[in-house]
C-alpha cells in the first residue's frame, strides 16, 4: 500500500530550537510538496519540488525555513529558529507529473502530517 510517510508525527519544542521534518514520497513520484495547515489560512503551500529541483518556495518564510530533497526518497523541511507562530500541522504530499499524463500532475497524495507545537 503506497503512501507518503512523514516523521515525526508529533513534535513539541521550545522556541528557538531547530525543527526538522522528514518526508518519504511515494516511490516513483517525481513531485513533492510541503504544506502548512492553520485554521485561518487553510492549506498553505510552502515548497514544491519536481525531480528534486525546487520549483516554488514563494510561500515559505526564507529567513527561518528551508526545504531540500537530498535524494528522490527523502524531502526535509527545517525551521531554525522555531517560533510559537510556527505551530501548525505540516503536510507533505507527492505526485506524478509526466508529459504523458499532464492532468495527473494535479492529483497529489498527502502524508498524515507532522503536528508541531512550539512553546
Partner 1 sequence: DQQVKQNSPSLSVQEGRISILNCDYTNSMFDYFLWYKKYPAEGPTFLISISSIKDKNEDGRFTVFLNKSAKHLSLHIVPSQPGDSAVYFCAASGAGNNRKLIWGLGTSLAVNP
Which chain residues interact with partner 1 by CB under 8 A? 4, 31, 41-43, 45, 48, 50, 55-56, 91, 93, 97, 103, 105-113
Q: Which is nearer to partner 1, 50 or 81 (CB)?
A: 50
- How far apart CA 91 and CA 101 sit, in angstroms, is 25
Q: In this structure, what DSSP letter does residue 26 have?
A: P
* Shortest Å, Cβ 4 to partner 1: 7
**Which contacts of 49-52 are long-range, i.e. CB under 8 A and separated by 24 or more positions?**
49/75, 50/97
* Shortest Å, Cβ 119 to partner 1: 20
* Shortest Å, Cβ 87 to partner 1: 16
- How far apart CA 78 and CA 69 sit, in angstroms, is 11
Amino acid at each position: 500500500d503506497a503512501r507518503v510517510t512523514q516523521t515525526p508525527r508529533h513534535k513539541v519544542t521550545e522556541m528557538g530550537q531547530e525543527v526538522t521534518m522528514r518526508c518519504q514520497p511515494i516511490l516513483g513520484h517525481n513531485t513533492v510538496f510541503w504544506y502548512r495547515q492553520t485554521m485561518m489560512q487553510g492549506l498553505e503551500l510552502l515548497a514544491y519540488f519536481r525531480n528534486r529541483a525546487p520549483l516554488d518556495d514563494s510561500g515559505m518564510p526564507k529567513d527561518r525555513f528551508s526545504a531540500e530533497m537530498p535524494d528522490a526518497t527523502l524531502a526535509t523541511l527545517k525551521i531554525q529558529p522555531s517560533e510559537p507562530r510556527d505551530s501548525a500541522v505540516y503536510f507533505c504530499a507527492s505526485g506524478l507529473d509526466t508529459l504523458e499524463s499532464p492532468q495527473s500532475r494535479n492529483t497529489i497524495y498527502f502524508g498524515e502530517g507532522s503536528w508541531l507545537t512550539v512553546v
